[in-house]
Amino acid sequence: MPIFITLLNWTDQGVRDYKDTPKRYEAFSAALQKLGCKLLNIYWTVGPYDIVVILEAPDDETATAALLQLGGVGSVRTTSMRAFGREEIDRIIAKAAG
């Protein structure tokens, strides 16, 4: 399944409710499962981003739906990137090379 790396920043609301971040994590994980996604890992970070999420989704549309649900709660803003593993990049290079 495709992998997505998502960088999150807390909104003002998210910072005010920082104590609820473990509960929000559990709710997000459950919501992902309902959509057929899997939360591979989550990191709370120091620096330009507050949280880094790595998830698997069946396709781009499902990942986007999951992240729209997350953003709709109002606690975070997201920036997402599609990540490619070694086998995937080998296939991409083979296609590009013709």
pLDDT for residue 8 is more than 90: yes
| Per-residue model confidence (pLDDT) at position 76 | 95
Architecture of domain 3-97: 2-Layer Sandwich (3.30)
User: Measured between alpha carbons, how far is 54 from 52 in angstroms, rounded to an integer?
Assistant: 7
What is the band of 2 on the pLDDT scale with cuts at 50, 70, 90? Answer: very high
What is the band of 64 on the pLDDT scale with cuts at 50, 70, 90? Answer: very high
- Mean pLDDT, the chain, integer: 95
**Sequence-separated (6 or more) residues with CB below 8 Å from residue 45:** 51, 52
**Sequence-separated (6 or more) residues with CB below 8 Å from residue 98:** none
